[in-house]
Amino acid sequence: MTKPLDKRFNAQDASAIDASVLETFPYEYAGKEIVINISTSEFTAVCPWSGLPDFATVEVDYIPRNVCIELRSLKYYLLTYRNVGIYQEHAVNRILDDLVRCAKPRWMRVKADYNVRGGIHTVASREYGRGRRRP
């Protein structure tokens, strides 16, 4: 009889998430609404319970107020999650909070569509801003 695998991989805590790498640039058309859609299929964090990786497509949609999020810095920011043990739902909340604090948009939505794990598919999303615009 084989013994159940009692393996757990080490994970970093949320203090490893580095929002200080986020940068912005001036939106030259302030007052004119534009919807910016950003998507990456390369988001990775780890399950805080098992340490196993979670992979997701992260989508950020927003209407800028005065600044836009610089994409290279967003990529660096999302990479800081790579070894962080964080629940899927918490990752979406943290990403939205950090991006809103950085860019102060009129409206923003963050959505994470996670790969199937253990036969379960999870999509988590959260919005910021009044009127809940759905571009």
Prediction pTM value: 0.90
Structural domain boundaries of the chain? 28-128
pLDDT of residue 27: 97
Q: Which residues are catalytic?
A: 47, 54
Residues of the chain scoring pLDDT < 50: none
CA distances from 56 to 25, 33, 42, 63, 132 (A): 27, 28, 7, 23, 23
pLDDT of residue 103: 98
- Mind giving me the DSSP string for 59-73? EEEEE-SSEEE-HHH
Question: For domain 28-128, which architecture applies?
Answer: 2-Layer Sandwich (3.30)
pLDDT of residue 135: 52
With beta carbons less than 8 A apart as the criterion, state whether 48 and 85 touch.
yes
